[in-house]
Amino acid sequence: MAPVTAVGDRMYELVERVYPLCRSITGDGVRATLDIVGEYIPLHVHEVPTGTQVLDWTVPQEWNIRDAYIAGPDGNRVVDFAASSLHVLGYSVPVSGTMPLSELRAHLHTLPEHPSWVPYRTSYYQQEWGFCLAQDTLDALPDGEYEVRIDSTLADGHLTYAEHVVPGQVADEVIVSCHVCHPSLANDNMAGVAVATFLARALAEQTPYYTYRFIFAPGTIGAITWLARNAERIDRVKHGLVLACAGDPGSLTYKQSRRGDAEIDRVLRHVLAASGRPHHVAEFTPYGYDERQYCSPGFDLGVGSLTRTPYAGYPEYHTSADNLDFVSPEAMADTLAVCREAFAVLDRNRRYLNLSPYGEPQLGRRGLYDALGGRSDTKQAQMAMLWVLNLSDGEHSLLDVAERSGLPFDTVAGAAGALRGAGLIKA
């Protein structure tokens, strides 16, 4: 991977490219977004037909939009989809006609508490139409007749999602999931898409232990569709992480899996604490992003969620203020770094068996102490060897060793490698 600053800049460039596109839970905006992501990593794109039963849900009709506007009494456009895809209520049915402002108001959505911002609103499963605009704009509209047009289609089509797989040494999988359904919102969730994309690139430069499966899907219905289509192989999924809100200026938040003690939970808690970064660890709740689908009781996967400021936790959330100025290369680079640190621990976290468990084996005659000569952390490395030997009973993992000893995981993993090379432990 390139230096951190360069990687941050490249992630920001990806967000800039996909930010303007009008995405929804289906449609050409999702495909266009995946086409761009596919320039960075190879994707396997899936198209699931309207009407397909997916668990307790049904794949909805596909929505596409070409243009939408409100023109005032003078003929000038006062709300224009071409200026921002947020201006149209997501999944609006087509409409064309004129009406007085008094009638139009029932179809207008604003944020009075933030009068210059445009809200993001949707109506996926009810046939409605509407526009979103700034309260300041609405307040300035004169009475009169307004031309209203939404040039959209809602018809049988497909739900689109994509996967990217980084092969590992074993078939057991770690899933990394992010949603691709929000229009013109930079942090929620194009920053998450960018971090996932560059995390995949980083892992591809290594030979990871686990197989890493990246899922780019519409929120809720996309994850449900993926689970329905992969139910027979779900036992391969050993760990998982949902990435969202990855580029805002807030500190990192890790939301634990439903289990609370899944290995991914322990790894993220350990990595965040050891890093010294300001952070927060939150308990699981059945609301938020797609961790709630992966952690539904029938699947109960060990999947947590990593964000910066969490779901609905910042005023800009689901508004036009979640724009390119709200995210930064530095924040995305920091989120990426934590993901890489966490997966480096996850990939090396093994249980070992001491092959010389009766008394302390003589390390000096095996050259293990001599091999440490000149290291700045010689004493730590020696202690790590003793701790690994003592806790290598087939029950304790290297993360257990690191947590109990208070030693850095990297030092513990290095000690395990040396002991294994000397024939004193085996996986």
Contact 353, 426 (CB under 8 A): yes
Q: Give residue 64's pLDDT.
A: 98
Where do the domains of the chain lie? 4-60+158-348, 63-155, 351-426
**d(C-alpha 4, C-alpha 9), whole Å:** 9
Contact 71, 146 (CB under 8 A): yes
Tokens 């046939």 belong to which residue?
127
Concatenate the DSSP letters of all residues of 239-276 into one string: EEEEE-S-SSSSPEEEEPPSSSSSHHHHHHHHHHHHHT
Tokens 């770690």 belong to which residue?
174
The CATH architecture of the domain made up of 351-426 is: Orthogonal Bundle (1.10)
Q: What angle do CA 114, 118, 120 make, to 5 degrees?
A: 115
* CATH class entry, domain 4-60+158-348: alpha beta
Q: Give residue 18's pLDDT.
A: 98
pTM for this predicted structure:
0.95
Is-same-fold flag (63-155; 351-426)? Answer: no
**d(C-alpha 306, C-alpha 372), whole Å:** 37
**d(C-alpha 117, C-alpha 110), whole Å:** 8
82 C-beta neighbours (distance < 10 Å), count? 10
Q: Give residue 371's pLDDT.
A: 57
Q: Give residue 368's pLDDT.
A: 86
Contact 217, 223 (CB under 8 A): yes
Q: Of 3.40.50.300, 3.50.30.90, 3.30.540.10, 3.20.20.80, which CATH number belongs to 63-155?
A: 3.50.30.90
Residues of the chain with pLDDT under 50: none
